[in-house]
Amino acid sequence: MTTPVYQNFINGHFLKNQSGETFAVKNPATDDVIYYVEVADAFIQNAAIQSAKQGFAAWSTMSPIERSRILLKAVALLRERNDLLAKIEVLDTGKPWQEAECVDVQTGADVIEYFAGLAPAQVGQQQMVGEDFYYTRKEPLGICAGIGAWNYPLQIACWKSGPALAAGNAFIFKPSEETPLGAIKLAEIFIEAGVPAGVFNVVQGAAEVGQWLTQSADIEKVSFTGEVGTGKKVVASAAGSLKDVTMELGGKSPLLVFDDADISQAVSAAMLGNFYTQGEICTNCTRIYVHKNVYQQFIDELKTRTEENIIAGDPLDPNVNFGALISKKHQQLVMSYIDKGISEGAALLTGGKTLSPASAPNGYFVAPTVFIDCTDDMTIVKEEIFGPVMSVLTFDDEDDVIHRANDTHLGLAAGVFTKDIKRAHRVIHQLQAGICWINSYGNSPAEMPVGGYKQSGIGRENGIETLDHYTQTKSIYVGMTNIESPF
Ligand code: NDP
């Protein structure tokens, strides 16, 4: 069987590039090349802009309710094709089927559905100014771009295109070159649902293609998901044409476990927030601060459950709940952090090695890893690892732990476990993070805005306010009286 080659998706169909350049995509669980993708060369880039201009002309003049109706058809198709799309995500990312089957496509579809419902309700203002008055219109921005990370490829494409399209914009999306297929399938679905050609285009390639998007003067906004360092480059480049930006970046989020907490629940949260999607989630609570009084109980249960309940293996096996990391390079990076943790004096409670499960012997697995005896100055406690590596620390004073939790330039997420309702709110209000959970961790419904404080991001995704981020306000003053002029 020949290995498939996918082209860029422009103006409602696949378009061949002129350079002939392609790149290979590997299944992280097998190390096999599963398909090739054509790089978006100058010809494709130009075609994408022309296509998006035409798409915008057609889409932005439709009424919000017409757009909503079409987007809801796309939502139905996404749900109908859940298993097919979930399998693509498993093969591209290495994440377990049991997650992708119920999360990746569903949470993507939910967000498009949410914004499709919201768009017709978006209204302007009207106010009298004497006998004159003004009114405002919420108008789309024009052509928007999305640049995605590799951990939730389809979901990220949906979270960015959902509000953008609902508000009447055209979109050019660049998935990560590690995971390019989900966005192509979304593009096909949009066309099938009736979204006009050119409204959603997919360009493929690595950083250079992303850079072109951030530089293009024809693009009004870029919504980026990725590392803090890349985000800074994107903002700098977008400044050249004063683009609007949304930045969804990395984190090193704290979870505070007080001594009155339900410890089993807190362990569940810590495990979900470090080992779900084999640790490749931006909001992960990779710094767990446990009150000294419950520390031993916490780490005993954590060790037992990590060693007994995590099943690594072929991600397509529905019993497997722990998959492979995205690439060999990333596996090596995560292992280098583990080595650093050991050399800086942290103790391994469990894990700390690569895995080669019988059902996926060539996969890029790293064992679920827990470090104890950690201190705030260790590299593993300060830097985002983006793998299954948890650092456990202790505390005994509320103010002190809040100070330690906030002592970072990142501020994506935070959590607190306590049965004391006053403490829960008091503490969470002082934590410098954009996405917070009390006695819970990781849930991110379409209705809830998400985004980072400090260097973890700019702007928000999801929630009502995001629709505003894809529109601009036009103010229109209406003269009802004669103009008074000194001339
Ligand atoms: P990267 O920053 O490496 O890449 C993100 C995207 O940017 C990719 O599509 C990449 O292309 C592209 N890119 C790389 N360089 C440039 C550039 N100079 N200009 C424009 N685009 C560029 O992130 P990862 O893909 O490694 O994703 C992991 C990171 O994403 C973690 O830090 C994680 O915390 C963060 N993340 C944040 C989320 C949030 O909502 N806050 C959610 C998910 C992840 P290519 O990969 O093809 O080279």
Question: For residue 51, how far is its CA from the centre of ligand 1 (angstroms)?
Answer: 25
Q: Which residue among the candidates 220, 248, 280, 384 is catalytic per the annotation?
A: 248
Quote the pLDDT of residue 436: 98
CA distance 100 to 84: 10
412 neighbors 452 (Cβ within 8 angstroms)? yes
Distances (CA, A) of 366 to 97, 100, 178, 318: 18, 19, 18, 19
Quote the pLDDT of residue 169: 98
139 neighbors 169 (Cβ within 8 angstroms)? no
Q: What is the pLDDT of residues 418-460, one digit of tens each?
A: 999 999 999 999 999 999 999 999 999 999 999 999 999 999 9
157: its two tokens: 């494409």
CA distance 306 to 93: 22
Q: Which residue among the candidates 101, 220, 384, 461 is catalytic per the annotation?
A: 461
Is the dihedral angle over the CA atoms 371, 375, 376, 380 positive or is it negative?
negative
Question: For residue 247, how far is its CA from the centre of ligand 1 (angstroms)?
Answer: 10
Active site residue 248: yes
Instruction: Mark residue 442 as left, alpha or beta (left: phi above 0; alpha: psi -120 to 50; beta: remaining).
Output: left
Quote the pLDDT of residue 73: 98
Assess whether the C-beta atom of 180 lies below 6 angstroms from ligand 1: no
Active site residue 192: no
Q: What is the pLDDT of residues 24-43, one digit of tens each?
A: 999 999 999 999 999 999 99
Confidence of residue 65 (pLDDT cuts 50, 70, 90): very high
- Average pLDDT (130-138) is 97
Assess whether the C-beta atom of 148 lies below 6 angstroms from ligand 1: yes
**b/e sequence 338-355, b meaning 16+ C-beta within 10 Å:** beebeeeebebbbbbebb
Assess whether the C-beta atom of 230 lies below 6 angstroms from ligand 1: yes
Q: What is the pLDDT of residues 193-236, one digit of tens each?
A: 999 999 999 999 999 999 999 999 999 999 999 999 999 999 99
- Average pLDDT (52-71) is 98
Question: For residue 472, how far is its CA from the centre of ligand 1 (angstroms)?
Answer: 27
Quote the pLDDT of residue 101: 98
3 state SS of 218: coil
Closest C-alpha to ligand 1, atom 22: 207
Quote the pLDDT of residue 394: 98
Assess whether the C-beta atom of 210 lies below 6 angstroms from ligand 1: yes
Exposed, middle or buried by CB within 10 Å (0-12, 13-18, 19+), for 106? middle
Pairing verdict, β 369-372 and 365-366: unpaired
Quote the pLDDT of residue 298: 98
Quote the pLDDT of residue 461: 98
Residue to mutate, 230, 276, 384, ligand 1, most ligand atoms under 8 Å from C-beta: 230
Half-sphere exposure of 426 (CA within 13 A, CB side): 10
Assess whether the C-beta atom of 451 lies below 6 angstroms from ligand 1: no
Active site residue 38: no
Assess whether the C-beta atom of 249 lies below 6 angstroms from ligand 1: yes
Closest C-alpha to ligand 1, atom 12: 207
Backbone dihedral angles phi then psi of residue 227, each to the nearest 5 degrees: -75, 155
- Average pLDDT (75-103) is 98
458: its two tokens: 């700019």
Assess whether the C-beta atom of 282 lies below 6 angstroms from ligand 1: yes
Q: What is the pLDDT of residues 381-425, one digit of tens each?
A: 999 999 999 999 999 999 999 999 999 999 999 999 999 999 999
Percent of the chain scoring above 90 in pLDDT: 100
- Average pLDDT (330-337) is 98
Active site residue 160: yes
Sheet with 126-129, side-by-side order of all strands: 126-129, 132-140, 471-478
3 state SS of 252: coil
The predicted model scores a pTM of: 0.97
Quote the pLDDT of residue 41: 98
- Ligand 1 atom closest to the Cα of residue 152 is 43
Average pLDDT, the chain: 98
Using the predicted structure, report yes or no on whether residue 1 has a pLDDT greater than 80.
no
Q: What is the pLDDT of residues 274-326, one digit of tens each?
A: 999 999 999 999 999 999 999 999 999 999 999 999 999 999 999 999 999 99
CA distance 308 to 35: 36
Q: What is the pLDDT of residues 122-133, one digit of tens each?
A: 999 999 999 999
CA distance 294 to 290: 7
Per the DSSP assignment, residues forming a β-bridge with 126 are: 135
Exposed, middle or buried by CB within 10 Å (0-12, 13-18, 19+), for 280? buried
Quote the pLDDT of residue 280: 98
373 neighbors 345 (Cβ within 8 angstroms)? yes
Confidence of residue 139 (pLDDT cuts 50, 70, 90): very high
Q: Which residue among the candidates 26, 95, 160, 243 is catalytic per the annotation?
A: 160
Pairing verdict, β 143-147 and 132-140: unpaired
Assess whether the C-beta atom of 214 lies below 6 angstroms from ligand 1: yes
